[in-house]
Amino acid sequence: MERTLLHDLSKAPVGPASHLIDGLSQAASDGGTMDVISPLNGTRLTTMARGTVEDAEAAIAAARAAFDDGRWSGLAPAARKKILLKWADLIEAKAQELAVLGVRDNGTEIAMALKAEPLSAAGTIRYFAEAIDKIYGEIAPTAPGTLGLVHKEPVGVVGAIVPWNFPLMIGAWKLGPALAAGCTVVLKPAETASLTLLEIAKLALDAGLPPGVLNVVTGEGAVVGATIAESNAVDALVFTGSGATGRRLLEASARSNFKRVYLELGGKSPNVVFADAPDLDEAAKVSAYGIFRNSGQVCVAGSRLLVERSIHDAFVEKLKQVAETMVVGDPLNPETSAGAINSEAQLEQNLRFVAEARAAGRQIVTGGERILQETGGYYMAPTIVAGVSPEDAIAQEEVFGPVLAVIPFDSEDEAVAIANGTDFGLAAAVWTADLSRAHRMVRRIKAGVVHVNTYGGADVTVPLGGVKQSGNGHDKSLHAFDKFFDLKTAWIKL
Ligand code: ADP
């Protein structure tokens, strides 16, 4: 991005944010607001509406009415496609502005944010828009005297509750297929990353999305999110966030109308490096970026490094060198490779995990501390902890920070046992030059995605979803539509 533009955008005043309900910007019903604190310097960026139960109910009612009167689901799929493609174009046209606003709100480094946020969101929306007029129902292979038709119908009103890391990317994973399928949506962004989602929702109106089809309510999860989860007028919930919240959503569904609940709940992803990895320098570099980019605030981050014992010390040394040369700091500097921690609370949680490991005698190879405190922002040095036992909290729980737990192993079986030895199953990687071993490991590791001789990287064409306590259902790829269609059979006597 051109530097003067970046500078201007990073200083631009940000006005107070309101909900978007039924096509209108609306303040909270009781006038309440909450401060939006920038993690770059700890100062107030702006304020946003602190949603009330009434606000969430108004948004749900708007989405319900918009679904039930067919203003969106009743359009030809090709007509929905046209509007969604226009929306993607408008997002792309404002990509730089959106990326900088997002960075100021949530702290992701700008080089990554531009690609991973507005541009990724536009690409995702386009993918699902383009697909929607190419999806057919079925004719069942019944006996000649009957005709069995299987219709795919939009599920109805979708509640989408999304997190603060990559709000546009993850938001688009939900909004793209939901809206393309003909559903209407009530979106609840995270407290610390709402601004860009509100902006793109306004662009959807400009693109011709009818009012009430996409509603956004900001505020606290326990108020706004909980009201959506408990509502009998919401037909499905799609969520990315913590396991604790996921459990509450399932409980709320059980207490209310059994709405379908799809959860993407993070992980403790194993990155397994065998001594025969084709290029250990490359493996160290990619592994370091696989945990430290966006300061580890990535659900698929490779937060457990399993290294074959014969190369353990040399490999950890290589990693240390990469970690120590990464540029950590102001995420609006294009050279930065790891930006801010999203909030002070998250930073404190990261440091608690490290303190516990240190107290247990684990080796802090590098990092372990808050840095750049003089900026007022929330920054942490890339942290490598070695000598970790697979049972340690730092090897079992999702830190969601720039903290890598290193565990040695001696055999393939042991690597598999450690890799599968957590409650999670989201992502993984295996580094080896042995083709058979690579395929064996892909099959044996319980995870939604297993990378081979790389870490991270995927696109909208492949599904992302967890197994075990990493969740259920899939974002991305045509499989993402499954969450938003109901199957209806027409059984016809001929
Ligand atoms: P994270 O650890 O990523 O912040 P959370 O699960 O706390 O994960 O937050 C993810 C999303 O869930 C946010 O939009 C948040 O506001 C929302 N949320 C938090 N608590 C609840 C709740 N009790 N009910 C519904 N949504 C919630």
Residue 245 has pLDDT above 90, yes or no: yes
* DSSP strand pairing (427-431 vs 449-452): parallel
Phi–psi pair at 49, nearest 5 degrees: -60, 135
Q: What is the pLDDT of residue 457?
A: 84
Q: What is the pLDDT of residue 194?
A: 98
Sign of CA dihedral 382, 377, 398, 447: negative
Band (476; pLDDT cuts 50, 70, 90): very high
What pLDDT, in 10s, does the model give residues 194-217? 999 999 999 999 999 999 999 999
Q: What is the pLDDT of residue 3?
A: 87
CA 243 to ligand 1: nearest atom: 6
Q: Write the residue with the smallest CA distance to atom 9 of ligand 1.
A: 241
Q: In the structure, which protein residues have their CB atom closer than 6 angstroms to any atom of ligand 1? A: 161-163, 188, 190-191, 221-222, 225-226, 229, 241-242, 245, 248
CA 220 to ligand 1: nearest atom: 16
pTM of the model: 0.97
Among residues 109, 191, 230, 299, the one annotated as catalytic is: 299
Determine the distance separating the centroid of ligand 1 and the alpha carbon of 383, expressed in angstroms: 26
Q: What is the pLDDT of residue 391?
A: 97
Determine the distance separating the centroid of ligand 1 and the alpha carbon of 193, expressed in angstroms: 12
Interaxial angle between packed helices 195-207 and 77-93, expressed in degrees from 0 to 180 and rounded to the nearest 10: 130
Q: How far apart are CA 343 and CA 193, in angstroms?
A: 10
Interaxial angle between packed helices 280-292 and 312-325, expressed in degrees from 0 to 180 and rounded to the nearest 10: 50
Asked if residues 84 and 180 have their Cβ atoms less than 8 Å apart, the reply is: yes
Determine the distance separating the centroid of ligand 1 and the alpha carbon of 454, expressed in angstroms: 31
Q: What is the pLDDT of residue 458?
A: 87
Beta carbons within 8 Å of 196's beta carbon, 6+ residues apart: 98, 101, 102, 105, 117, 118, 167, 168
Determine the distance separating the centroid of ligand 1 and the alpha carbon of 413, expressed in angstroms: 37
The β-bridge partners of 370 are: 380
Determine the distance separating the centroid of ligand 1 and the alpha carbon of 249, expressed in angstroms: 10
What is the strand order of the sheet 146-154 is part of?
A: 138-139, 146-154, 485-493
Q: How far is CA 165 from the centre of its chain?
A: 6
CA distances from 465 to 113, 158, 397, 444 (A): 22, 18, 18, 17
Helices (H), ranges, 95-146: 95-106, 110-114, 120-131
* DSSP strand pairing (270-273 vs 304-308): parallel
DSSP 390-427: TTSHHHHS---SSEEEEEEESSHHHHHHHHT-SS--SE
Band (441; pLDDT cuts 50, 70, 90): very high
What pLDDT, in 10s, does the model give residues 1-20? 888 999 999 999 999 999 99
Phi–psi pair at 82, nearest 5 degrees: -60, -45
Residue 464 has pLDDT above 90, yes or no: yes
Lowest mean pLDDT among 4-8, 240-244, 394-398, 429-433: 4-8
Angle among Cα 310, 316, 322 to the nearest 5 degrees reads 140
Report which of residues 457 and 256 the model is more confident about. Answer: 256
Beta carbons within 8 Å of 385's beta carbon, 6+ residues apart: 354, 357, 362, 363, 364, 365, 368, 394, 403, 404, 405, 406
Among 21, 47, 35, 15, which residue's Cα sits nearest to residue 224?
A: 21
What tokens were used for 251?
A: 């409980």
Report which DSSP code applies to 209: P
Among 307, 309, 288, 455, which residue's Cα sits nearest to residue 384?
A: 288
The rounded mean pLDDT for the chain is 97
What is the b/e burial string over 80-92, where b = at least 16 CB atoms within 10 angstroms of the residue's CB? bbbbbbbbbebbb
> Taking residues 247-262, what's their average pLDDT?
98
Q: What does R_g of the chain's alpha carbons equal in angstroms?
A: 23
Q: Write the residue with the smallest CA distance to atom 3 of ligand 1.
A: 241
CA 229 to ligand 1: nearest atom: 25
CA 244 to ligand 1: nearest atom: 6
Q: Cα dihedral angle (179, 183, 188, 193), rounded to 10 degrees?
A: -10
Q: How far apart are CA 90 and CA 275, in angstroms?
A: 48
Q: What is the pLDDT of residue 172?
A: 98
Among residues 109, 191, 230, 264, the one annotated as catalytic is: 264
> Taking residues 292-304, what's their average pLDDT?
96
Map tokens 């696109």 to a residue.
459
> Taking residues 264-293, what's their average pLDDT?
97
Active site residue 2: no
As a whole-number percent, the residues of the chain with pLDDT over 90 amount to: 99
Among 13, 4, 8, 44, which residue's Cα sits nearest to residue 376?
A: 44
Q: How far is CA 431 from the centre of its chain?
A: 25
Active site residue 299: yes
Q: How far apart are CA 49 and CA 218, in angstroms?
A: 6
> Taking residues 457-477, what's their average pLDDT?
96
Q: Write the residue with the smallest CA distance to atom 13 of ligand 1.
A: 190
Q: How far apart are CA 162 and CA 174, in angstroms?
A: 9
